Amino acid sequence: MSQHSQFTLLKERRFAPFFWTQFFGAFNDNVFKTALLTILTYDALTWTTMDVGLLNNLIPGLFILPFVLFSATSGQLADKFEKGRMARYVKLLEIVIMLIAGFGWMTHNIWVLVAAVAGMGIHSTLFGPVKYAYLPQHLHADELVGGNGVIEMGTFVGILLGEILGAMLVVHKPWGIELVAGGTIVIAVIGWLFSLRIPVSPAPVPELKINWNPATETVRNLSFSKKNRPVFLSLLANSWFWFYGAILLAQFPVYAKDYLHGDHSVFVLLLTIFSFGIGAGSLLCERLSGHKVEIGLVPFGAIGLSIFGFDLYLSSLMYTNTVAVTAMSFIDQVGSYKILFDIFMIGIFGGLYIVPLFALIQTRCDPKHLSRTIAGMNIMNALFMVVAALVAMLMLKQGFTIPQIFMATAILNAIVAIYIFSVVPEFLMRFVAWILIHTVHRVRGINVDKIPNEGAAVLVCNHVSYMDAIVIMAYSPRPIRFVMDHSIFKIPFLSWVFRTAKAIPIAPAKENPWLMEKSFIDIAQALHEGDLVCIFPEGKLTRDGEINEFKGGVMKIVERTPVPVIPMALRGLWGSLLSRDKGNPFHRSFRRGPFSRLELVVGEPQEPTQISPQSLQQQVQELRGEWK
């Protein structure tokens, strides 16, 4: 697996032109929208006689509306046509929209500018499916999390810088309007120039017949996604994040003004801290995931969103300042650092939550349907954001204060997370595995890329401790059905862990012949469905650290279902508290110390006709080697 920094991707043509194309798109969106909202807020009388509050809500709504109306079509286009060419056409559309907006700026025609807002919504709608379907075509599996992290970081930094620049340019005297009009055109041209360097990305379904009815196509997309339950619930979890973020960010302006008693610069400070948190969390994903798609970070992110969302409520109660402040004087107030820390941590955990979800969708979804799946997700995101606005309005009408809205959203997030992780236990299982191998051991995987991303296979491994399955699970790119001794299912907590992971209990024939036969039937069924099955051929934990004789169960499995067999070996678990060390495990564990070294080594896949229990034992022994 590549261990290069994710930032090295910014030097490569397969990634850099695409990154800068999407960065300048997000940047320009927000320069334009923020400039328009700012001028309407501070200089509305020279532009329109309409209610400013109405316009301030209409403009974001018009930007989101195309996601609902045209996402289904844009997803089909991204699957049917080459993505580099689509990106160039979208960027040409952006130039045209900004030229029209320039006319609106120079003539003070508010309706031309409002139409341009809707046009930029269409631009973003068309680019969205291209954005996330492009990455799996050009990045290796061990680069996908890092690449998504850089993209998310770039998006939020682009949004932040765009909002700051838009607000600054438009109020610049005497050339603010001209600077915005010309600047947005220049930024659009820069994005188009970068798009010219995007490499060819072949269309996955060039023969696709476009369904121009957005309603029926949306239903068809979501129905297709429902067939893959982890993907569909990942889409829901992704949309929930936008619900959470929409409620949170929508409160920041009034929160900064009425609760923190700050001016516009305090609002910008809150937004800046949150955006940098999202960027940092997105980049941190690669390091915490070990250069692989680690969905165990999603529950970690959800926990952080609830904890620090609730703590933001508590921090707000501790803030007692009543004097008007700027960003600089706000920092000097008692309790300000706690508020900023909570907002930063919400951003951090938001990044940890969202990036692995994107990577899971990209890797688990049918490649021929990826763009349409992303388009369906964009529709769901837009709808969740609309619902978020309605929920926030309802809570305010019911007398909730803004800090109480933060608290209620954090509690809602915890409830939704519990639901999602209970119906898709893989998230929670990977989280448990991730926590254990990052708090008890320093774990290294060797040749773990030999565990197949798809297709049925039998994994065989030496059996050292009760933690073996969790370590193996942490390094697998997808769920594993473990064959476990039925007695383990009687151990508290471990019983829940393995039942949640859909482990297959097995018993010796002399003890429970019915359960043993059922186990082999369940194994055959799992392999028939294309799953990975892992067995420990020794049939019991080692009592002296040495590998016991491999039993013949593996032969019975491959005789029924001939699939590749992959030998593996665990190094370093012997002597831990969860092994059956006949000596003093407490002394041995203390001597090893926290974060003791552990390795999982994976061998070459073996054809089912070329194996025997003896040959597999020999291979596992060689992989295990002399552990020191």
Q: What is the pLDDT of residues 228-276, one digit of tens each?
A: 777 888 888 889 998 998 888 888 888 888 889 888 788 888 888 998 8
Q: What is the pLDDT of residue 340?
A: 95
Strand order in the sheet with 504-506: 441-446, 596-602, 565-571, 457-461, 532-535, 480-485, 504-506
Dist CA 169 CA 355 (whole Å)? 32
Q: What residues of the chain score a pLDDT lower than 70?
A: 1-5, 41-46, 48-57, 290-291, 437-442, 493-494, 497, 573-597, 626-628
Residue 72's closest CA among 192, 185, 220, 208? 220
Q: What is the pLDDT of residue 404?
A: 93
Task: For residue 167, give both structure tokens.
Answer: 């607000």
Judge whether 149 and 283 are in contact, CB under 8 Å. Answer: yes
Q: What is the pLDDT of residue 507?
A: 84
Judge whether 104 and 113 are in contact, CB under 8 Å. Answer: yes
Q: What is the pLDDT of residue 232?
A: 84
Could you tell me how far CA 314 lies from the centroid of its own chain? Answer: 28
Q: What is the pLDDT of residue 169?
A: 86
Judge whether 568 and 620 are in contact, CB under 8 Å. Answer: yes
Judge whether 146 and 355 are in contact, CB under 8 Å. Answer: no
Q: What is the pLDDT of residue 313?
A: 94
Segment holding 395, helix H or strand E: helix 370-397
Full DSSP string of 13-50: TTTHHHHHHHHHHHHHHHHHHHHHHHHHHHSGGGT-SS
Q: What is the pLDDT of residue 562?
A: 92
Assessment of whether the complete model's pTM goes beyond 0.85: no
Q: What is the pLDDT of residue 605?
A: 92
> Is residue 506 helix, strand or coil?
strand
Q: What is the pLDDT of residue 198?
A: 92
Residue 125's closest CA among 84, 85, 68? 68
Kindly report whether the peptide bond that precedes residue 174 is cis, defined as omega within 30 degrees of 0: yes
Enter the DSSP assignment of 465: B
Q: What is the pLDDT of residue 195?
A: 94
Q: How many CB atoms lie within 10 A of CB 49?
A: 7
